[in-house]
Amino acid sequence: MSARLTVLGASACAPTSLGAAVGYLLEHDGGATLVDCGPGVVAELASRDLLGRLTGVVISHEHADHSADLVALGYRRGFPERLPALPLWAPTGFGRKLEGLDAVYGIPTLPDLAHPFTGGYALTEVEPGATVVVDGTTLATTRAVHPVPTLTMRFPDLGLAYTADTGMSAELVEACRGAQVLLAEATYRDAAGIDVSEHGHLTGRTVGELAAEAGVGRLVVTHLADPDDGPEILAEARRAFAGPVELAVPGMVVELDA
């Protein structure tokens, strides 16, 4: 089955000179699925006239760099006309987040925006480790090494694995095993010496080791804390992984042919 992945944003924490925080559009036979929705992602979709094509959204975890533009997208779904609730898959407990967003940003005097998030999305909570069907394609999840419930994603019919935010683990290697394309976070340069053991992130070195151990076909590195670190993170990854390694940048299109 062929599919294509368009990078909308690739920055950790907040937008940088590289563009939006993380978000990816996954177009496949079953629809156009937005994977993560960080700040700036909705503007990227709107500028490419892609907002109307979305058939569903998958959120890896609640951290704002992966989910904050659900606010912008929820408003867009409720104004100037109410659109049907958009299917949303997110980790267990995410429903309470949507209720909280309604409490903060709901507009009681505009009926379509009184509950823009619990009303604008049709939420399915996903227990990390579960396999679900998203827009007609299978999504197998693994619990990431991160301080909140986080979905590492594998789309087995599309040849894609996406780490989300995570530290290294044996389960992560298995989740990525043999993927045609591995979209993987490398938040920091390994040489920076930042201790990621508590919070759970990868570096240029560990993302390269992950790609090598999992035997993937191609590595696309994303979620950089500092865009200036790109060349060094790529060099670190290439020392561990002999296959193709690229940096995700907004507008990049990755063709998938599983």
Which positions ≥6 away from 166 have C-beta within 8 Å?
144, 145, 146, 150, 152, 172, 185, 200, 201, 202
CB of 84 to Zn ion, least distance (A): 29
Measure the CA–CA gap between 225 and 229, rounded to whole angstroms.
Answer: 8
Applying CB under 5 A, among 27, 62, 65, 226 the residue interacting with Zn ion is: 65
CB of 35 to Zn ion, least distance (A): 13
**Residue 32 or 202 with smaller CB distance to Zn ion:** 202
Neighbouring-strand partners of residue 166: none
Applying CB under 5 A, among 25, 40, 63, 123 the residue interacting with Zn ion is: 63
**Residue 63 or 76 with smaller CB distance to Zn ion:** 63
Tell me if 36 contacts Zn ion by CB under 5 A. no
**Residue 3 or 145 with smaller CB distance to Zn ion:** 145
Bond from prior residue into 84 cis (ω within 30 degrees of 0): no
CB of 122 to Zn ion, least distance (A): 24
What is the size of the binding site for Zn ion (CB under 5 A)?
A: 4
**Residue 37 or 73 with smaller CB distance to Zn ion:** 37
Tell me if 165 contacts Zn ion by CB under 5 A. yes
Name the one range near Zn ion by CB under 5 A: 58-66, 95-103, 115-123, 237-245: 58-66
Which positions ≥6 away from 144 have C-beta within 8 Å?
60, 61, 128, 150, 151, 152, 163, 164, 165, 166, 167, 172, 200
**Residue 139 or 224 with smaller CB distance to Zn ion:** 224
| Helices 230-240, 204-214: inter-axial angle, 10-degree rounding | 40
**Cβ 26 vs Cβ 204: under 8 Å:** no
**Residue 72 or 225 with smaller CB distance to Zn ion:** 225
Which positions ≥6 away from 66 have C-beta within 8 Å?
21, 22, 36, 37, 38, 59, 60, 164, 165
Tell me if 229 contacts Zn ion by CB under 5 A. no
CB of 242 to Zn ion, least distance (A): 27
CB of 11 to Zn ion, least distance (A): 9
- Look at residues 25, 31, 33 and name the one whose alpha carbon lies nearest to residue 6: 25
DSSP state of 111: G
Name the one range near Zn ion by CB under 5 A: 161-169, 176-184, 232-240, 241-249: 161-169
Tokens standing for residue 41: 């992602």
Task: By CB under 5 A, name the binding residues for Zn ion.
Answer: 12, 63, 65, 165
